[in-house]
Amino acid sequence: MSKAIFPLPLPDNRKIKISDDVLQMLFSFTQDHKNSPESGGILIGRVLDCNAHIVVDHASRPMESDIQTRHRFVRKAAEHQEFFNQIWESSEGRCFYFGEWHTHPETHPTPSAIDKREWRKLLEKSIQDQNQLFFIIVGTTELVVWYGQRQANKDTFLKIGSYKRNEIQY
């Protein structure tokens, strides 16, 4: 585990940690060339028995059926669901849908009005009936993690922290 990567605190005092493998994978889709398309996928978490902290150790990559353009990523459910099911089975049901990630071609990413609308939709219709979800936007120098709760004010997403690309150990 790399020293530079610290866990991000949640409002309920639990912490989340994104594994180095997932961080490396997410940053591998950085839109740092003028033609690199927007990418995205789902995040899969696991609650640690010992302290109830959350580790995100799996994330899906863009799939063949997704739509990817410079400023748009549309995730189609089926292949990502299949990815989730495989991890669900191999972890014997000890994982959960944590949220979503996507990229932006900007240094310090912020969610667009469309992003917030999509995130709100996911929260209100969460398949696993979760009251909270997490959303990551991967910018060109850092990725930022936001947290949303069901039935909160529609624009309210709490920024819980960020990971800098140059702190990731390869």
106 in active site: no
Structure-derived torsion over alpha carbons of residues 20, 109, 153, 116, reported in degrees to the nearest 10: -100
Whether 41 and 101 have beta carbons less than 8 Å apart is answered as yes
Residue count at the site for Zn ion (CB under 5 A)?
2
Cβ-closest residue to Zn ion?
115
Q: Which of residues 90-119 bind Zn ion (CB under 5 A)?
A: 112, 115
Tokens at residue 90, please?
A: 């191999």
Q: How far is CA 10 from CA 3, 39, 50, 75, 133, in A?
A: 20, 26, 17, 27, 12
Q: Which is nearer to Zn ion, 115 or 142 (CB)?
A: 115
Q: Which of 38, 79, 118, 142 is catalytic?
A: 38
Q: How far is the CB of 64 from Zn ion (least distance, A)?
A: 21
Q: Which is nearer to Zn ion, 57 or 100 (CB)?
A: 100
Catalytic residues: 38
Residue ranges binding Zn ion (CB under 5 A) = 112, 115
